[in-house]
Structure 1
Amino acid sequence: MNKKDLAELKKHFFPEDDLLVVEKVFSTFIDSEKTQRFRTVRTFAEIPQEEMSVLYTTLEKVLKGTLGKGLIEYPFPNETYEEDQPQNLLWELLQKGLTDEEQMDKFVAHITEKMVYTLPYALFVAQCTYTVFEKNKFGEKNKYDAREFHFLVGAVCPVESRVDGLIYDEDENNIIRKTKFDRVVADAPTDGFLFPTFTGRGPDVNHVMYFTKKPKDPNVSIIEDVLGCQFILSAEEEKETFRAVLDKAVGEELNLNVIASVNEKIQDYAKTFANEPEPPVVSDIFVRDVLLDSGVSQECAEEAQKLYQEATEGNYFMASNLTDSKTTLSSEGITVNISGDPTDRITTREIDGRRFLMISLDNQEVTVNGFQMKIQ
């Protein structure tokens, strides 16, 4: 599933759309003891408009992540299609249209047993149908040639108990302390999924899309235990692994000029291919060549290529995950952030045996704790 496929689904995911319809919504509340307290399946027509609007907002957020960061596509291992295994459970839910009580029991039991979650939560699963019109070579739709893409969108939303303190009580005509608490379902899901994926404008039942609100801290239990997939590194972990490879391989040759050059070259590469259907990835050969172009020795560049290949096992990291929009320099309580190329603004110098980091200024004015001042 690429950016173009995802954009097509997102474009049509709103209540008034004629081509993408939410047919049914399954809702359940699981308490902190992993007990199911409530469950219902309703058709679109049964849900009040105000509530449906909130549900659409919640489910839509599952599709709004960035591919490779908040949205990651996972292949199902072969064994997950066996009976009562994750892929099979999702497939049966989809085929039976959220109507089979026994199947729903299995699905909820699987979720509550396998998922690690610190708060009570609400789980929403929507059964959706998108009418896909075929397109000619010019990208024009053929209104006489269409097929249906049936899919599930799931969202896990935390539920928090809220006591708002003092309230105005109309019956007593007085301001009193609120004694009852509300269990408020967050409209922003922490996790979610799309099954099957929409690949090449059609279903791919052998892949599932996982959504996380926190790309730096995904819920691995959902990926591995609920969905049955093999976890891959998050965007932040890819960056940290890449840094570790360069640090180990390049060593003393890793200076400000090299760091800035590598960052700039990967950024340029990511921008050049940003509109391609598949997000650009950084190969081991690319790592070697970028380091050589940045002035690193042949020996260190080839060592980095080797270590990177071993770290990724051929599943190369996304270019957009490996770069920084600004350069941050830190040392003993001092942090300096610099946008753009830092090499023409920063120099190091030794004066009277002390080392200094020199920053050139385009003008005399600087801001210190919000105050404007001039450097004489």
Structure 2
Amino acid sequence: MNEKEIAEIRRRFRPDKSNITRIRGCYVNDQREIVSEFSQPLGLMPQEESEELLAILKKTLSGTVGKNLIDIEFATRQVLEGEEHKLLMALRESALKDDAAVREFYGRIIETLGMEGNYLILLASDQYDIPFYAKDGEAQENSSEVYSYFLCSICPVKPRKPALGYYVSENTFRNITADWVVSPPELGFLFPAFDDRSANIYSALYYSRNIEENHAEFVDTVFKSEIPMPAAVQKETFQSILGEAVAEECSLEVVQAVHEQLSEMIEEHKASKEKEPLVVSKGTVKGVLASCGLSETCVTAFEEKYDEEFGSDTQVSPRNLIDMKQLEVRTPDVTIRVNPERGDLVETRVIDGAKYILIRAEEGVEVNGVAVHIS
């Protein structure tokens, strides 16, 4: 799914927009035991509480495509024969009213999900009568297709510390007792995916709040599909193989050039308003390295290490490989963060046999917030 399609479904999560009539779920304690199950009608809840509940579910469709939101693909054989896909379809087609399917789904998650503490499994089913949009962007009459889907959110439940509260109506102070609070989703998914503004039962959209953790065991249990390594791990892996492969040829200028070229690809993709997320292949990155003047030996070494760590045919998002907001220069004792557009202010040099990082400084130099003069 692309950003526009995700945004269209996100807008559904308001009481006046969706056809979600109730929220199903269960509360799981730290011993992996279901403490309670519930099926909460939204219409019987105060408006403020129903809006808050839908807002929590909506966060399962938040974050960056390729980092927090990842497409999960099903093979044709899975769709035809896979037990995991049959269960997802049973949940969808029954609009979460198949109690046996719901409880089997709870069991599969609880058995394998490695999450500490208490948590909620929340399920919501919706039917979206997809509007047809004219070329000018105006919504026309509804199409003949109804997109039926369900959303699953796994939300940690954490204790709130006791505190002192002031009650205006009583003009008095009282202790607020400790309680349990539902936190934003840690992970979840949408099934089926909403591709080309239509249901795609060969795909699901998976969400993980933490870009350093993708909960691979959950993905394997629910989808029986592989998931890319977490975005933060992709970045660390890319940095590692780049440093090892380029070795002695890895200068400040080379890293700056790689950062600059990947940043340009991201900016150009954004400006072109392409619907599909930007990804780069091993060949693309090899071309970037070759354009930096690296030897064929280094480029070949990078290719081999890329195959080992990512896989030869794996495409990755350049947003996961670099931080567009800054360049970071680090020694064991000093860290320097530089605006990528002003990388020209930094250079490395050897003076009298000692290695230095030089930063050209004009006006506005501060140390601990205090303006200093360089004389």
Same fold (TM over 0.5): yes
Q: CA deviation at 1:66?
A: 1.2
Q: Which residue does the alignment assign to 1:355? A: 355
Q: Which residue does the alignment assign to 1:263? A: 259
Q: CA deviation at 1:32?
A: 1.2
Q: CA deviation at 1:322?
A: 1.4
Q: Which residue does the alignment assign to 1:13? A: 13
Q: Which of 82, 85, 88 is the equivalent residue of 1:87?
A: 85
Rounded Cα–Cα distance in structure 2 between residues aligned with 1:284 and 1:255: 21
Q: Which residue does the alignment assign to 1:185? A: 182
CA contact (8 A) 1:287 1:304 kept: no
Rounded Cα–Cα distance in structure 2 between residues aligned with 1:167 and 1:262: 53
Rounded Cα–Cα distance in structure 1 between residues aligned with 2:343 and 2:159: 52
CA contact (8 A) 2:129 2:147 kept: yes
Residues 1:30 and 2:28 aligned together: yes
Rounded Cα–Cα distance in structure 2 between residues aligned with 1:282 and 1:150: 33
Q: 1:175 to 1:278 in 2, by over 3 A?
A: closer
Which runs of no fewer than 5 residues in structure 2 stay unpaired?
A: none
Q: CA deviation at 1:244?
A: 2.4
Rounded Cα–Cα distance in structure 2 between residues aligned with 1:349 and 1:35: 61
Q: Which residue does the alignment assign to 2:162? A: 164
Equivalent position SS for 2:313: coil
Alignment of 1:266-277 (within 5 A): 266-274=262-270, 275-277=273-275
Q: Which residue does the alignment assign to 1:222? A: 218
CA contact (8 A) 2:327 2:343 kept: no
Q: Which residue does the alignment assign to 2:106? A: 108
Deviates most, 89-98 or 297-306: 297-306
Q: Which of 238, 243, 259 is the equivalent residue of 1:242?
A: 238
- RMSD (Å), alpha carbons: 2.7
Equivalent position SS for 1:273: helix
Q: Which residue does the alignment assign to 1:287? A: 285
Deviations 1:192-242 (CA, angstroms, capped at 9, x unpaired): 111111011111112121111111222222222233321211111222222
Deviates most, 72-81 or 121-130: 72-81
CA contact (8 A) 1:326 1:338 kept: yes
Equivalent position SS for 2:279: coil
CA contact (8 A) 1:80 1:87 kept: yes
Q: 1:32 to 1:82 in 2, by over 3 A?
A: farther
Deviations 1:271-298 (CA, angstroms, capped at 9, x unpaired): 1112211111112221122112212123
Alignment of 1:299-318 (within 5 A): 299-310=297-308, 311-318=310-317
Rounded Cα–Cα distance in structure 2 between residues aligned with 1:140 and 1:50: 31
Question: What is the percent sequence identity of the aligned residues?
Answer: 27
Q: 1:289 to 1:104 in 2, by over 3 A?
A: closer
Q: Which residue does the alignment assign to 1:319? A: 318
CA contact (8 A) 1:75 1:207 kept: yes
Q: CA deviation at 1:176?
A: 7.4
Q: Which of 197, 202, 206 is the equivalent residue of 1:206?
A: 202
